[in-house]
Amino acid sequence: MKPQMIEKITDLYCANNHNLEPYMIVFNLKLQQKDRILCTKCMDEYDNINKMITFKKAQQLIEENQTKCLELLENSIEPNIKQVELLQKHLDSLKSYLNQELDSLIENTKEWIKSFNQIRQLHKEYSFLKELDKLIQNEKIQVIDESSFNNQIIKINQALSVKINSKLQQFVNFNEQKQCSYVLNNILNGGQGTNFDVYSEQSSIVQKICSNPTEISYQIENNAEFQSEVQQIEYYVYEDLQNFVNLLYSLKAVKEHFKEYPYHPMTVLCRNKVILQLNLSNAIHFDLMSQYQNNLRQVLLKEKENAKNIINQFKLLLGDEYLQHIDYYISNSLNEKLSVKNLILETLDESNSQNNYQNFNLFGQAQDAQKILSHWIKSKTYNSNIFDSFIFKAICYKYTTEIKLISNFPASSFNPKNK
């Protein structure tokens, strides 16, 4: 960058209007600016004794000084410009990423609608001859079985809700994300969700307790101790449910990783972790049912019922392979009448696992029950009681398991004896 003089050379002609190029500069601050500039004709008439330099020399000195100033300025500004340009580049990348993510979400919704249209088309077409056979056999129009296409709709809703919600989490600070999550929640609940304001601020204590809010007094609603107990109940119920679901998804990841080695020690270990969690859940819920009475018991039963609705939605996602675990969890943890039960752990064949014990601590044994309860007692808060929150955390837990499996149990380390 070069310095540029604002004035034209004609603006620097002498004050005597000789219309000649400037020749000398007089170093005298008492003179007016124009009077300090002399042309050759002015020099012939000038008789004062003052320090002078040629105009070209003055111009050279000024430009040298301006050049140094610009160099210093450039050294200061250029690094900042480079950083801002880097920021601009990252913002462009972020913009591109966000646009891609939002476009992807929109494509997911189009895929969702397309799946519904495919179901429509499937049930729209029929064979008159086949239907005639059915009519003749039954001599009347058959009662329409809604379960077949309802199950298809539920599967589509769950699969696409999971896909969309996992991407929506990165926009959690935007109100529009909350509105999207609200709509997803309504879809998963069969369109029976609350209004958006209630969803955002959470239901009141009365709504959580029973369907008839007149049964609970205003004093109870606003009692701090009562509300604290409600929060503790929520935490016990939903944190336990989340732990159970996480372990199912972790087991799913392990089974997929060792699908060629079904008797691998890690598979047995992860099944045992699920069994330990089932035993722990049974003990926790048995204690809860023994501890709470009256209004708080109604709160507990209401949250258990909601937990049932959530865990039942996982049946379709996980499939028949995990149905036994889920049904056991419902029967021995979420039902109103419970008794203490303990499932027996599977025997781990140590002869096939000596080389793998060093990696077992990666997943750890099931946590000590007292440590878990101690953690809950310190926190006593839980804010996620909708399906999409549970499935998102479970999938994240599964991804974490998969990463650890790939890192610690690469295909080359598999022992053929475990097949």
- Give the model confidence (pLDDT) of 52-86 as tens digits: 878 888 888 888 888 888 888 888 888 888 888 88
CA separation for the pair 183, 196 (Å, rounded)? 9
Average pLDDT over residues 324-333: 94
Average pLDDT over residues 248-276: 90
CA separation for the pair 173, 216 (Å, rounded)? 35
Beta carbons of 264 and 258 less than 8 angstroms apart:
yes
pLDDT tens, residue by residue, 111-148: 889 888 888 887 777 788 887 777 777 755 566 667 66
Average pLDDT over residues 307-325: 89
Of the ranges 2-11, 120-129, 167-176, 349-358, which one carries the lowest mean pLDDT score?
349-358
CA separation for the pair 278, 384 (Å, rounded)? 21
Beta carbons of 167 and 105 less than 8 angstroms apart:
yes
Average pLDDT over residues 232-246: 91
Beta carbons of 70 and 1 less than 8 angstroms apart:
yes
- Does residue 418 have a pLDDT over 50? yes
Q: How far apart are the first and last CA of the chain?
A: 73
Confidence at residue 200, expressed as pLDDT on a 0 to 100 scale: 53
Residue 52 has phi, psi (to 5 degrees) of -135, 155
Selected residue with higher pLDDT from 263 and 312 = 312
CA separation for the pair 74, 97 (Å, rounded)? 34
pLDDT tens, residue by residue, 399-413: 888 888 888 887 656
Selected residue with higher pLDDT from 248 and 134 = 248
Instruction: Using the structure block, give the residue that is written with the tokens 């935490």.
Output: 235
Please spell the DSSP secondary structure of 188-235, one letter per residue: HTTT-PPPHHHHHH---HHHHH-S-GGGS-HHHHT-HHHHHHHHHHHH
pLDDT tens, residue by residue, 186-213: 787 765 444 555 445 443 443 344 444 4
CA separation for the pair 217, 214 (Å, rounded)? 7
Selected residue with higher pLDDT from 398 and 202 = 398
Selected residue with higher pLDDT from 198 and 8 = 8
List the domain boundaries for the chain: 9-86, 213-418
Collapsing DSSP states into helix, strand and coil, what is residue 61?
helix
Of the ranges 27-31, 72-76, 248-252, which one carries the lowest mean pLDDT score?
27-31
Average pLDDT over residues 314-331: 90
Question: Quick one: the chain helix, strand, coil %, rounded to 5?
Answer: 70, 0, 25
Assign 417 a pLDDT band (cuts: 50, 70, 90): low
Assign 331 a pLDDT band (cuts: 50, 70, 90): very high
CA separation for the pair 310, 396 (Å, rounded)? 18
Average pLDDT over residues 225-247: 88
Selected residue with higher pLDDT from 298 and 53 = 298
Collapsing DSSP states into helix, strand and coil, what is residue 252?
helix
Beta carbons of 368 and 224 less than 8 angstroms apart:
no
Comparing CA positions, the residue from 215, 178, 184 lying closest to residue 198 is 178
Instruction: Using the structure block, give the residue that is written with the tokens 């050049």.
Output: 67
147: Cβ–Cβ under 8 A, 6 or more apart, which residues? Answer: none
Maximum average pLDDT range among 171-175, 245-249, 353-357: 245-249
Q: What Å distances lie between residue 39 and 9, 47, 49, 357, CA to CA?
A: 12, 14, 16, 98
